[in-house]
Structure 1
Amino acid sequence: MKRQKNLGRARRQRPENRRFLIYCEDEYASRHYIEALKRRLHSIPITVKVASGRGEPLDLVREAATHQARAPHCSEDRYTAYDEVWCVLDVEAPHPHPALPAALKSAKECGLRVALANPCFEL
């Protein structure tokens, strides 16, 4: 008996793009800058979230870590983990927030990346 030939086309698997999650402290400045970057890099999936705890760097890091942990189990995140999770923290010079060192330590322990906006994102 003859083997049947597969007449269908060979399908290439295209690798999925890297996914980024960025947590910001405020609704306005940093979020708008990141949204503009997202529009320029339209082929890169970037999710921008604003943390609920205003001005508290440690709360922002905790919220980002929680989101990172639940992403593989959540339909909102397509049941897929993020490749990189970033926290954008405002550092008000010359006196940074007292919880900043703890937030940086926590971010490192959770595998989160941190971008410090110093003295502000608008400059």
Structure 2
Amino acid sequence: MALSRHQRGGRPLKRVPEKRPELRTIIVFCEGRNSEPDYINGLKKLPHIAENTALSIQIHPEPGVPLTLVKRAIEHKNDPEVDECWCLFDVEWPKNHPNLARAIDIARANEVSLAISNPCFELWLILHHQNCSAFLDTASAERLSRSLDGRTGKSIDPAVYMPLRRKAGRHAERLDVRHERNGTAFPHDNPSSGMYKLLRSLEGEQQDGRSDC
């Protein structure tokens, strides 16, 4: 009778652990408001994003600083461990943020990606609930956003928005197509939001029939 490996005194074979693929590192720079960080933290918790991407947030404590966000992103972009840097900021109406055009030009020259919402991030939140094609000032967008999700404070519940994010992405992309067709140039492309581009970077091209969670 043949002896087993254990009976012969040989060492048992060790299982070699599978090496996990290296995570992409993406840093998102945004203003120190509640809704943007809340939303990004919601994305971080989605299992398919957490398994593939190290997503971190850098928050500037003061609002209204697109150029500052871009400059900070450029500093991190030179880190070989960082794959992508994104800046999230608003246009604001009736008075636009200063240095918007300069911030965009510098970002593009340094390969920093942008997700700009016009007039503000609340427009992106609105698009989760409904389409929106009419010009909005910032105050009107904030009021409409609050009426749609019922929040009373500045923070949002990401769990409300995550299942609807692809619907919002389709609405936002259609707005961009409409502005391009009409020859509407920035910053007059109100309403619009580039947040769908960030989602596409994180999740790839998603089919409408796939689950949103």
TM above 0.5, yes or no, is: yes
Q: How many pairs are equivalent? A: 108
Q: How far 1:52 sits from its partner (Å)?
A: 4.5
* Equivalent residues of 2:86, 2:113 under 8 A apart: yes
Corresponding residue number in structure 2 for 1:26: 32
Task: Determine which of 33, 36, 43 is the counterpart of 1:37.
Answer: 43
Provide the rounded CA distance (Å) in 2 between the counterparts of 1:65 and 1:96: 23
Aligned partner letter, 1:82: V
Corresponding residue number in structure 2 for 1:49: 58
Provide the rounded CA distance (Å) in 2 between the counterparts of 1:27 and 1:53: 8
Q: How far 1:64 sits from its partner (Å)?
A: 1.3
Provide the rounded CA distance (Å) in 2 between the counterparts of 1:19 and 1:9: 29
- Partner SS state of residue 85, structure 2: strand
**Unaligned stretches of 5+ residues in structure 2:** 1-12, 127-213
**Unaligned stretches of 5+ residues in structure 1:** 1-6, 73-80
Provide the rounded CA distance (Å) in 2 between the counterparts of 1:19 and 1:57: 22
RCO (CA 8 Å, sep 6+): is it higher in 1 or 2?
1
Q: Could you give the per-residue CA deviations for residues 39-75 of structure 1, whole angstroms, max 9, x where no partner exists? A: 1232221001102453111111001111233x44xxx
Q: What TM-score do the two structures reach when normalised by structure 2? A: 0.45
Aligned partner letter, 2:116: L
Aligned-residue Cα RMSD (Å) equals 2.2
- Partner SS state of residue 19, structure 1: strand
In the alignment, does 2:10 pair up with 1:17? Answer: no
The alignment-based identity, stated in percent, is 36
Q: What TM-score do the two structures reach when normalised by structure 1? A: 0.74
- Partner SS state of residue 58, structure 1: helix
